[in-house]
């Protein structure tokens, strides 16, 4: 079966469908000052921002980022009764954005008259998701076999690109080489690329611990397309190194100590309890005779869980798997992963 026919592998069109809302968002840049005013409809629970370019409704994410920038915490916001929001929150916003931040730039990412995200101090160019995907396509061209594991939030978009290159890591365990791109929609953090390994057998995907310098919009003179061309080449070279690490995992047996090893790895990585339970249930179903099997369990849950019960844990098991691949030496007594440096 071709890799593009496997479960979870997307075409470019399917990938773009998943990000259509964020792709449609347009930046509206506003200079802060006395013409800025906030109001909250207590009945509807919607906040609005009046500014020189019009009236914009604020999504919860947009309002949250504006409040956070002034030091107004989410925990405190949750304690405020809905009917008291206008009295307590509105003066706070009007003071900071109408006075203290006067002259500074605020960017709203808007769809029609609603801001899905607000970005204070956005003195940099907005880069659409499609530009990043097209730039990757320009570099890899026909070497793209499909797209995998897209994650989207108001601030970031992560996606993986698979290539036709195949490597057998263990018996009946064929992996495709690829890259994973983490793109900041808001532009507040770097866009990053890492090597990506796609397991055909269970359609799992995982990144690596290898750090590659990111691309940041602030004061960045290099075009993202040129940066991607250089970075993707670097990431492809690191794929071979990661394959060797996985082959090492396959040679470390844990069958008689599987539970202890798993408990130790999860505890060291501070994985939330709810997610730990899902990992243990997968271990019961799949079993594990070596560290490579544990690696596959981590990537399976990270790839296929819907994370509805633990939304803030997305990606943590990917990092656990990547760490395991590069730190596979175990203490013979307590089964903790040891620092091999």
Mean pLDDT by 10 residues, the chain (341 residues): 85 93 90 93 87 94 92 83 83 94 93 91 85 92 93 88 93 91 85 92 83 73 83 87 92 82 82 88 90 92 79 83 83 63 50
How far is the C-alpha of 33 from the C-alpha of 14, rounded, in Å? 42
- At 218 the pLDDT is 65
| Distance in angstroms between the alpha carbons of the first and the last residue of the chain | 41
Domain ranges of the chain: 3-22+127-238, 33-103, 255-326
How far is the C-alpha of 315 from the C-alpha of 16, rounded, in Å? 21
> Helix 291-304 and helix 316-326: axis angle, to 10°?
160
- At 43 the pLDDT is 79
**CB-CB contact of 34 with 230 (8 Å):** no
3-state helix, strand, coil in the chain (%, to 5): 45, 25, 30
String of DSSP letters for 190-211: -BEEEEEEEETTTTEEE--S--
- At 81 the pLDDT is 82
Bridge partners, residue 137, by sequence: none
The structure's pTM equals 0.85
């Amino acid at each position: 079966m071709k890799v593009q026919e496997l479960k979870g592998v997307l075409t470019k069109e399917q990938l773009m469908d998943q990000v259509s809302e964020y792709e449609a968002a347009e930046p509206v840049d506003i200079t802060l000052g006395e013409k800025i005013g906030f109001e909250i409809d207590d009945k509807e629970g919607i906040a609005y921002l009046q500014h020189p370019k019009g009236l914009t409704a604020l999504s919860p994410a947009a309002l949250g980022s504006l409040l956070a920038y002034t030091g107004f915490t989410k925990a405190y916001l949750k304690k405020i009764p809905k009917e008291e929001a206008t009295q307590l929150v509105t003066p706070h916003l009007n003071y900071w954005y109408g006075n203290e931040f006067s002259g500074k730039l605020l960017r709203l990412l808007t769809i029609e008259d609603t801001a899905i995200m607000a970005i204070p101090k956005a003195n940099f160019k907005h880069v659409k998701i499609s530009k990043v995907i097209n730039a990757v396509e320009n570099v890899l061209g026909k070497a793209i076999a499909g797209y995998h594991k897209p994650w989207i939030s108001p601030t970031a978009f992560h996606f993986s690109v698979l290539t036709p290159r195949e490597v057998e890591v263990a018996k009946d365990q064929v992996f495709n080489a690829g890259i994973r791109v983490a793109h900041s929609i808001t532009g507040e953090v770097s866009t990053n690329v890492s090597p990506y390994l796609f397991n055909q057998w269970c359609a799992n995907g995982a990144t690596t611990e290898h750090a590659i310098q990111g691309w940041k919009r602030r004061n960045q003179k290099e075009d993202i397309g040129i940066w991607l061309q250089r970075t993707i080449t670097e990431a492809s070279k690191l794929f071979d190194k990661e394959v060797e690490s996985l082959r090492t995992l396959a040679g470390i047996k844990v069958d008689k100590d599987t539970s202890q090893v798993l408990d130790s790895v999860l505890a060291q990585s501070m994985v939330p309890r709810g997610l730990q339970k899902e990992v243990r249930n997968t271990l019961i179903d799949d079993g594990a005779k070596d560290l490579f099997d544990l690696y596959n369990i981590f990537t399976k849950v990270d790839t296929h869980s819907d994370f509805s019960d633990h939304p803030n844990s997305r990606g943590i098991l990917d990092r656990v798997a990547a760490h395991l691949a590069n730190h596979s030496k175990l203490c013979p007594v307590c089964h903790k992963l040891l620092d091999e440096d």
